[in-house]
Structure 1
């Protein structure tokens, strides 16, 4: 198993009708923070699945409020061999450097000139897990405010449905105020700005395995099943009904 390079952190239909799988979000109990051992012992694909049901926590500097969401959808990017990965062929750049840092390091990049995308590095040279969707847990009104105020010139007056707040990688970054200048290269195992907490363990049969979203590369990697989400959860970004059916047969 490839080891990470030692780089230094420098920043503090056919689907049967079933009951919607929404994780109980009534508990406001503080759970155990996920430590180095959680990120160190799993491959990228294992980490992506094991993060499902865990809580992503973000402390807002201005108020000290901690807002949280349950991870319900992830994608794996396997590093130097993965042609869809930003670390393909192992070239370290200022942009992708966090992918080569210790497992549990935050990688936030800017895309389309306006959106941030949040990942966390894993075991494997240049490997990382993309957090695609969250089920809001705490600080929902604050998430609404961040979403409404995203366009500073024309703030939105629309009240979003709870399931619309974080059902996409850019949306969740807006809702949790995750930006490159504050979160990139932060070690999520020891930071007071952003971290993961323990939560529900999602059983294998409750995880849908599907191709990643928006991958336009050779078929071998375009259709590789590296997206994972909680079956019948209303908060995922896009459901893959074909994958849902095939994974039940």
Structure 2
């Protein structure tokens, strides 16, 4: 498990990139959550997914769909979009420069505040959290462990220096040029049809034990190339 890292908070302009660029850019970065009592939680972003907006049949903004619920997808780049799934879990996204497009954070490698994360996960398949890498190895697990909900983090601006609840940091000890990134298909979107279900819009750091689901075929291709 990685130790506490030397890092710098990202600013607004850092999020002024396309959805696919952001999905790559965020890998290795640190998601930071400050709780109401001042406790800091940190996790390295190790897995992301792109949702491209208007053309993407798997996106909540497909065909220009715009509702009060998905409004953050149309807000300025770097806006938090938290939505509920299965009526009880949350997923956390970050809007990109294209209207209606956002990057889903799928998995984190816990770094700081693991005991607090375990407390948040109690009762949520607690048998899985005997290993630290199981705390945030999925989009809803990530939200539970970091206490990210629609009522406390939705529509937050990650580029706002006055936002002391949730932000992203660059890790000086993590060289993005040295990351081995696996590019593969997204998870759980079969209803969007085969074309969009198979598009390689999920990205993860190869070899990281906190990734939610490995694609061994894609990993083999990465090693070949």
Partner Cα distance (2:212, 2:128) in 1: 20
1:71-220 correspondence runs (5 A): 71-148=45-122, 160-190=130-160, 191-199=163-171, 200-203=174-177, 206-216=180-190, 217-220=192-195
Give the alignment's TM-score, normalised by structure 2. Answer: 0.92
Q: How many aligned positions are there?
A: 219
Tell me how far 1:125 sits from its aligned partner. 1.6
The structure with the larger Rg is 1
The worse-fitting range, judged by mean Cα deviation, of 88-97 and 195-204 is 195-204
Partner Cα distance (1:175, 1:245) in 2: 31
Contact 1:52 1:201 in 2 (8 A): no
- Partner residue in 1 for 2:15: 39
Q: Which has the higher helix share?
A: 2
Other structure's SS at 1:89 match: helix
Give the alignment's TM-score, normalised by structure 1. Answer: 0.84
Other structure's SS at 1:171 match: helix
Partner Cα distance (2:129, 2:223) in 1: 36
Other structure's SS at 2:176 match: coil
Cα-Cα RMSD: 1.7
Other structure's SS at 1:247 match: helix
Change (3 A) 1:204 1:212: farther
Contact 1:148 1:157 in 2 (8 A): no
Contact 1:50 1:201 in 2 (8 A): no
- Partner residue in 1 for 2:221: 246
Contact 1:106 1:186 in 2 (8 A): yes
